[in-house]
Amino acid sequence: MIKITFPDDSVREYAEGTTAMQIAESISSRLAQDVLAASVNGEIWDLTRPITSDSAVKLFKWDDAEGKHAFWHSSAHLMAEALQELFPGTKFGIGPAIENGFYYDVDPETPIKDSDFPAIEAKMLELVARKESIKRESISKEDAIRMFGDRGETYKTELIGELADGTITTYTQGNFTDLCRGPHLPNTSYIKAVKILSVAGAYWRGDEKRKQLVRLYGITFPKKKMLDEYLALLEEAKKRDHRKLGKELELFTFSQAVGQGLPLWLPRGTQLRMRLEDFLKRIQKRYGYQQVITPHIGQKELYITSGHYAKYGKDSFQPIHTPQDGEEFLLKPMNCPHHCEIFKAFPRSYKDLPIRFAEFGTVYRYEQSGELHGLTRVRGFTQDDAHLFCRPDQLKDEFLKVMDIIFIIFKALDFENFEAQISLRDPNNKEKYIGSDENWDKAERAIVEACQEKGLKAKVELGEAAFYGPKLDFMVKDAIGRRWQLGTIQVDYNLPERFELEYTGDDNKKHRPVMIHRAPFGSMERFVAVLIEHTGGKFPLWLTPDQVVIMPISEKFNEYAYKVSSMLEDQDIRVLVDDRNEKIGRKIRDNELKRIPYMLVVGEKEAENDEVSVRKQGEGDKGSMNITTFASLLNAEVEEMMNHWQKKEGK
Residue 612 C-beta-side C-alpha neighbours within 13 Å: 26
CA distance 10 to 557: 78
Q: What is the 3-state secondary structure (H, E, C) of 485-553?
A: EEEEEEEECHHHHHCCCCEECCCCCEECCEEEEEECCCCHHHHHHHHHHHHCCCCCCCCCCCCEEEEEC
> Which one from 348, 471, 518, 595 is the annotated catalytic residue?
471
> Which one from 156, 300, 336, 348 is the annotated catalytic residue?
336
Residue-wise DSSP of 148-175: HHHTT-HHHHHHHHTSPTT--EEEEETT
State yes or no: is 385 an active-site residue: yes
Whether 287 contacts 321, CB under 8 Å: no
> Which one from 91, 517, 526, 595 is the annotated catalytic residue?
517
From the list 124, 37, 130, the residue with the least C-alpha distance to 75 is 124
State yes or no: is 339 an active-site residue: no
From the list 476, 426, 459, 481, the residue with the least C-alpha distance to 66 is 459
State yes or no: is 383 an active-site residue: yes
SS3 467: coil
State yes or no: is 365 an active-site residue: yes
SS3 97: strand
Task: State yes or no: cis peptide before 183, omega within 30 of 0.
Answer: yes
Strand ranges, E, within 117-274: 135-138, 169-173, 176-179, 193-203, 212-221, 252-253, 264-265
> Which one from 105, 385, 478, 492 is the annotated catalytic residue?
385
State yes or no: is 471 an active-site residue: yes
Those residues whose C-beta lies under 8 Å from the C-beta of residue 90, and which sit 6 or more positions away, are 83, 84, 106, 107, 108, 109
> Which one from 58, 141, 365, 391 is the annotated catalytic residue?
365
> Which one from 84, 173, 284, 383 is the annotated catalytic residue?
383
Sequence length of the chain is: 651
> Which one from 123, 379, 387, 511 is the annotated catalytic residue?
387
CA distance 202 to 93: 11
* Helix then strand then coil, % of the chain, to nearest 5: 40, 25, 35
SS3 365: coil
| Region for 641 from its dihedrals, namely left if φ exceeds 0, alpha if ψ lies in -120 to 50, beta otherwise | alpha
Catalytic residues: 336, 365, 383, 385, 387, 471, 517
